[in-house]
Copies of this chain bind each other. A is one copy, B any other.
Amino acid sequence: MTYCVGLLLDQGLVMLADTRTNGGIDNICCFAKLHVFNTPGERQIAVMTAGNLAVSQAVINLIREGMPDPDSGELRTIHSVSGMFEAASLVGEAVRWVFEKHGKVMRQQKVPFDVSVLIGGQIAGAPQRLFEVYSAGNFIEATRDTPFLQVGEHKYGKPILDRSINSDTSLADGVKLALISMDSTLRSNLSVGMPLDLLVYTRDRIDGGMQRRVSEEDVYFRQLRDAWSRALHDAQRAIPAPDWGQARG
């Protein structure tokens, strides 16, 4: 399994992914799911993938190496697309290409063709955008109303985002909330695992952003986990007990 979350905030983009893949609970590996395509001053695009690893890796390979344009035959890559919408389209075409090549045999062997991709970033002169590409190659875009997108094991970490993420959430708060959302997921689903890959792209600053691998030993992440646990515990203690017969404290 996997958990990846992207936040499109007024101040910029936060992308966070775990690194665990598993083919069964007895076959766990560490693979980066966050892939970064930066050309400082010109473009910064990050892609996070969930689902079948062979499909995900094929998609990343195709967008990096290039797919021929159906009309001109020219190779289009994530480095050559002229905008974020075109970048999301390219990912969608790559997904469909993999489906055409492998989908039939996967179906015969009852392996689900299962991939979803978050792609976010900015090309100089155009707005920062964030998309989610489905297994069919179609996609949706994050908006001011719903400024976050998740792929993989999204449910455990969604309540805190539903409550707290707005477009005007600061980058620092966005990072905290993404890490808290990941922490809840890590605790409840063993197939989501450390270390984490974090990326922050400040809006309109095409400088490659801030990328960090967060390990089990990371002092800040440990402090955040402890502080959050303690705060939840204190909050629950502080709520008065109901005055309902046997439920009374």
A177 partner residues in chain B, CB cutoff 8 A: 236
Does A30 sit within 8 A of B, measured CB to CB? no
Interface centre among A157, A172, A202 (most CB of B within 10 A): A172
The reply on A107 being an interface residue by CB < 8 A is no
A159 and B187 contact, CB distance less than 8 A: yes
Chain B residues with CB under 8 Å of A156's CB are: 155-156, 158-159
Partner among B158, B175, B187 whose Cβ is within 8 Å of the Cβ of A163: B187
Residue interface bits A84-127, CB-to-B below 8 A is 1, else 0: 00000000000000000000000000000000000000000000
List residues of chain B with CB within 8 A of the CB of A238: 227, 231
Interface of chain A residues 189 through 213 with chain B (CB within 8 A): 198, 200-202, 205, 209-210, 212
Size of the A side of the interface (Cβ < 8 Å), in residues, is 56
Q: B-contacting residues of A (Cβ < 8 Å)?
A: 12, 14, 155-160, 162-164, 170-173, 175-177, 180, 184-185, 187-188, 198, 200-202, 205, 209-210, 212, 220, 223-224, 227-229, 231-249
